[in-house]
Amino acid sequence: MLFVNKNLKLLSFLAFLLVLAAFAMVLFYAPIELNMGIVQKVFYFHVSAAWIGMLAFLVAAVCGILYLNKKQLKYDFIAFSAVEIGLLFTAIANFSGMIWAKPIWNTWWTWDPRLTTMTIMAFTYIGYLLLRRGVDNPEKRARFGSVYAIIGFASVPLTFFSSRLLRTIHPTIFGADTGDMAMIPAMYQTMAVSIIAFTVLFAALLWHRSLLAARESELEILRAQTEVLEFGEVLDD
């Protein structure tokens, strides 16, 4: 089983229920937007996924700082897990955004500042995963990963503020002076529940993945020890 303790089991179950509740609100509670029609309802999970993607990269950067200060590998496991999950949610935001864009903008993709910076952000963190694969020493890998996660985080505010500072067709929801998309309370409530649901889901996934990352590391060390023992036996023979 993937559940190693009671709290994690509880958190996972809560995440499942919240995602289900959020989806039910999307289907039955949120009204259909007048101009865009039902496809606008993709917005609730699209925004939540984009938000969690950025939160995950923030967690990775914070864990990077903590690792460099305390030299405890657990922070590296959390940072790595946060980046992997952050990329998952960034991919969800990108693909759902493309599906929403097709009937509204009449194109799957456009090199708009928000879409471009989001792609740069995603490739920055794909680079993080590739870099880690190339380093065998766990401490060296953690050190490189931490520095990369901290520097790579620069791409996150760039993405967040791109639609506020540059000319873009992408609507701005948070912190916009004028509402780009007219929203009524039921829409805000559905969005809030979706964001909470995705945040709890992120916490549960991060916990699961960090535990697995720790186990991967233990096995890596065990494997290396076994190889040394086998090599010693060959030399003795």
User: Where do contacts with other proteins occur on this chain (CB under 8 A)?
Assistant: 2, 23, 36-39, 41-42, 45-46, 49, 85, 88, 91-92, 95-96, 99-100, 102-103, 201, 205, 208-209, 212, 215-216, 219, 222-223, 226, 229
- For residue 184, give every residue at least 6 positions away whose Cβ sits within 8 Å of its Cβ, in sequence order, or none: 31
**Minimum Å distance from CB 157 to other proteins?**
25
Which residue(s) pair with 33 in the sheet?
37
* The amino acid at 57: F
CB closer to other proteins out of 28 and 178: 28
**Minimum Å distance from CB 225 to other proteins?**
8
CB closer to other proteins out of 160 and 198: 198
CB closer to other proteins out of 128 and 198: 198
State how far the alpha carbon of 187 is from the alpha carbons of 31, 41, 44, 122, 154, in Å: 7, 9, 8, 28, 31
**Minimum Å distance from CB 130 to other proteins?**
17
What is the b/e burial string over 92-126, where b = at least 16 CB atoms within 10 angstroms of the residue's CB? bbbebbeebbeeeeeeeeeebbbbbbbbebbebbe
Closest C-alpha among 192, 197, 210 to residue 89 = 197
CB closer to other proteins out of 81 and 150: 81
**Minimum Å distance from CB 93 to other proteins?**
9
CB closer to other proteins out of 110 and 147: 110
CA 71 to chain centre: 24
**Minimum Å distance from CB 232 to other proteins?**
13
Tokens of 137: 């020493």
**Minimum Å distance from CB 99 to other proteins?**
4
Residue indicated by tokens 């697995």: 212
CB closer to other proteins out of 45 and 153: 45
**Distance (Å, whole) CA 211 – CA 196:** 23
